[in-house]
Amino acid sequence: MRWDATTRKALKPLLLMAAVAVILTIWQHAAWARGRISLPEYICQTLGWPVMSAVTKINEVVRDTGRSVFLAGSLAAENRRLRQERDELMAEKILLTEYFRENKAFREKLGFELDQKVKNIPARVVGRTSISGEQRCRIYIQVPENREVHKGDIVREAAGLVGRVIEVRGRVALVLLIIDPQHGLGARVQRSRAEGVIKPAQQWNEGWPDRLSMQYLRHHADIRIGDVIITSGQDGIYPAAIPVGVVEAVDVSTKQVQTVVATIKPFVDFQRLEYVWVIPQP
């Protein structure tokens, strides 16, 4: 009798659970037959969904965190590699941009394409003279390895005359500019053929004059504002017909002997010289 009572006591919860399961199953199938869900199922979904959603999110966070920790080393290395590639590409872009600008400036300054067959020698300005207490307008130029320049060679760019070579040291040459106080050249008015001598004007801008002066013109010389001035070829230094500048002003003095002096604006911008042509002299 004692065994039977104990057994029945142990079986009661199981029988109750089985009965509840049968009732819920019948309830569920009856609701599905009507195209609905049963009330217990609805309650379970309503109450269980937030918990399931929270558990899912926690699982995703734990999974993503674990993955991030696992991949942190490789991601850091990849990030460093990408930064290095970015810096290298940026440096290459800057270099290519500089090459493009130099090539553009070369073509604009010299006026035509570089051709190894032509007699003129391309050169790059690599320095300027700076002598304390003296006014000197000279530049250093460098020619390619396979070209040579000599003292007396003419230097110009597409716009006009620059000066002449006065000293050579290997591939580097010192050029005396036409705006240097020690420089002078024979010139003529292209329109009227009136001749004179060009020297630097006494107008200095930060150590460099920006104007020339045409002097020793004959009385009643035909020279006007806007006239183009070219080399005359009479000084034994420069060949004829190299452009020099344009007349900006004409001053006529009649105090004792009539004198005519013209102010010339050079075609060359000496403050921005970068590339020049060297014209070898025979």
Q: Which amino acid is at 278?
A: V
Residue 58 CB neighbour total at 10 angstroms? 10
Domain membership of residue 14 (yes or no) is: yes
Domain stop point among 64, 94, 111: 64
Domain membership of residue 118 (yes or no) is: no
The domain tally of the chain equals: 2
CA angle 33, 47, 52 (to 5 degrees): 100
pLDDT (0 to 100) of residue 26:
75
Q: What is the pLDDT of residues 227-275, one digit of tens each?
A: 999 999 999 999 999 999 999 999 887 766 678 899 999 999 988 888 9
Task: Give the structural domain span for 223.
Answer: 185-272
Confidence of residue 86 (pLDDT cuts 50, 70, 90): confident
Domain membership of residue 201 (yes or no) is: yes
Domain membership of residue 244 (yes or no) is: yes
Domain stop point among 17, 34, 64: 64
Confidence of residue 117 (pLDDT cuts 50, 70, 90): very low
**How many CA atoms does the CB half-sphere of 143 hold within 13 Å?**
24
Q: What is the pLDDT of residues 41-81, one digit of tens each?
A: 666 667 666 766 766 777 777 777 766 666 666 777 777 78
CATH number at residue 217: 2.40.10.350
Kindly tell me if the per-residue pLDDT of 20 is higher than 80. no
CA 166, CA 151: separation in Å to the nearest integer? 5
Q: Which two tokens stand for residue 261?
A: 């002096």
Instruction: Please say whether the beta carbons of 187 and 141 come within 8 A.
Output: no
CA angle 70, 76, 82 (to 5 degrees): 135
Domain stop point among 64, 87, 106: 64
pTM (global) more than 0.85: no
Q: What is the pLDDT of residues 184-237, one digit of tens each?
A: 999 999 999 999 999 988 665 555 677 899 998 887 889 999 999 999 999 999
Which one has a higher pLDDT value, 100 or 138?
A: 138
Domain membership of residue 190 (yes or no) is: yes
Domain membership of residue 25 (yes or no) is: yes
